[in-house]
Amino acid sequence: MTIATFIGLGVMGYPMAGHLANAGLAVRVWNRSPEKSAQWVKDYSGSACQTIKEAVKDADFVMTCVGADKDLITVYEGDNGILANAKPGAILVDHTTASAGVAERLAEAARKAGMGFIDAPVSGGQQGAQNGQLTVMCGGSEGDYTKAQSLLQHYARALNLMGPAGSGQKTKMVNQIAIAGLVQGLSEALHFAEQANLDVRKVVDVISKGAAQSWQMENRSGTMIDGEFDHGFAVDWMRKDLGICLDEARKVNASLPVTALVDQFYGDVQEMGGKRWDTSSLIQRLRKFR
């Protein structure tokens, strides 16, 4: 039986690991807080491990979904990390949204250790993870991707190899850049409709049938109108991602004026107490500063 280890049981990793267990794989989990691992075992079929070393021993695949670059370095490197304890031939798949540089670093270290590595950040949010409907953007070799593909399909709606190591992370940056501008545009549109004393829901119903339509409009306009911001990806995490985008833009000489501005706007939302609000909360900034 294929052994798959999943490291990092946050709002994304928890259901993603669950899909692997539901597919009949032998799943081991590890999380910094062991109580989360214990709860996962109660919800799904698998085993909770006390250490990373125990979790990755003899595993065919090791999936990670942690916070940021520094967390990846912690779980992958060192005597107690994945690279020192996974078996040669194992395929390592990282779902963290991180920098392209750390993906390239880990891919090279994995190659030297005789392992495969795929950087595979995801889009679709907590709901997409729970429903097994994520978009997975992969970077790595064709051979490693082919081996991992059958596992990733258990929680992917769309799954593509974008190029060599780091390409998955760069594609996720494109995704976040696009979302930042869309959410700000939608926020301004709804705010204008409110200030113009229009029936905002009726406005959305009309314009969503035309060129203004977007996923954000279809799925977030109603909660934005109601001032409800507990439906997905948190502002703190978006700022982390946009920081990665802006750092990479400087490296590749790309100009991102709108992204830089929206990043500052999210900073305002944080100062308003909205660190854990979802990304559609940009509209609250406009309501406050009007």
* Active-site residue list: 172
94 with 117: CB under 8 angstroms? yes
Question: Which residues 6+ apart lie within 8 Å of 266 measured at CB?
Answer: 235, 238, 239, 242, 279, 282
- The CA-to-CA distance between both ends of the chain, in Å, stands at 60
Cα distances (angstroms) measured from residue 12 to each of 18, 136, 184, 255: 10, 13, 25, 31
Nearest-10 crossing angle of helices 257-271, 167-195: 70
Retrieve residue 105's tokens. 């670093």
